[in-house]
Amino acid sequence: MNSTKWYQTFFDGLATLSWQRAVPASLTEAEVDFILQHTALPPDSRILDVPCGFGRHTLALSERGYRVTGVDLSETYILTLSGEIAARNLPVTLIHGDALRTDLGGPYDAVVCMGNSFGYAPYVVMRRFVRRLAAVTKSGGWFVLNTGVLAETLLPHLKTEAAYETGDITMHVRNEYRPLESVLQSELTFVQGDKTEVKTAFHYVFTLAEVTRLLRGAGFDLRAAYGGPDGKPYALGDYAYLLAQRR
């Protein structure tokens, strides 16, 4: 498997269903509160959600009166989200494609990148990604980045094996961290009744200082680092919520 393009085929089947079930609605609401509190964006502002996944932030932000564009490479996610948007009659724009190549529209008052998608690819690719986001963000606009795979977040608690249940799906995880490459390789086995699917994921692990330099090089300045949507200061081992502003 190509470790730099694994995400192009990962998000379908039990993997997508398991992840959708794993995130409680209360966390999404808390994260949207965090985004709006720290950016102070008025309703009707334009927000880009990339990658939007199954749309938990896209939907919640739209329901609060923001003009949201969601971008994702997964056809499964986009089709599912399209149906949800239609059912709720929300004015959301969806773009099915690779954020590294697809026209992202804009300009936007804020860009959000939530979950663990930051780090799906090596540094040079993530640099291109952030520069593309900067290009569609207004001067003074915001970039809100949430990740659990910063080095300072991931490594203190990393387990070689773990198992999680989401309803009738069990996910078994085997992790291997390769320090010479700063890459986490995870083999995930999803089991639902007599159905089994095996997926491999790769996360390229950056320090907070590396991410700060990457943001700065693209035209963003890091304004704050938090350890949760409650706004507590970031500390070793915390899930990271980073707030950066476009110059």
For residue 22, what pLDDT is reported? 92
CA distances to 149, 162, 185, 208, 221 from 179, rounded to whole Å, are 14, 20, 11, 16, 28
For residue 1, what pLDDT is reported? 55
What distance in Å separates the CA atoms of residue 136 and residue 81, rounded to the nearest whole number?
23
The β-bridge partners of 197 are 190
CA distances to 21, 37, 54, 179, 245 from 33, rounded to whole Å, are 21, 6, 19, 36, 18
* Encoded amino acid at 8, one letter: Q
- Check the CA dihedral 5-201-205-72 and report its sign: positive
Task: Spell out the alpha helix ranges (H) of 11-122.
Answer: 13-22, 25-39, 56-63, 75-88
The model's pTM is: 0.95
For residue 2, what pLDDT is reported? 59
For residue 5, what pLDDT is reported? 83
* Domain residue ranges of the chain, discontinuous segments joined by +: 7-148+206-246, 154-201
| CATH code for the domain defined by 154-201 | 2.20.25
CATH topology of domain 7-148+206-246: Rossmann fold (3.40.50)
**What are the mean pLDDT values of the chain's consecutive 10-residue runs (247 residues total)?**
80 92 95 99 98 97 99 94 98 97 98 95 96 99 98 98 97 98 98 98 98 98 99 98 99
The β-bridge partners of 161 are 174
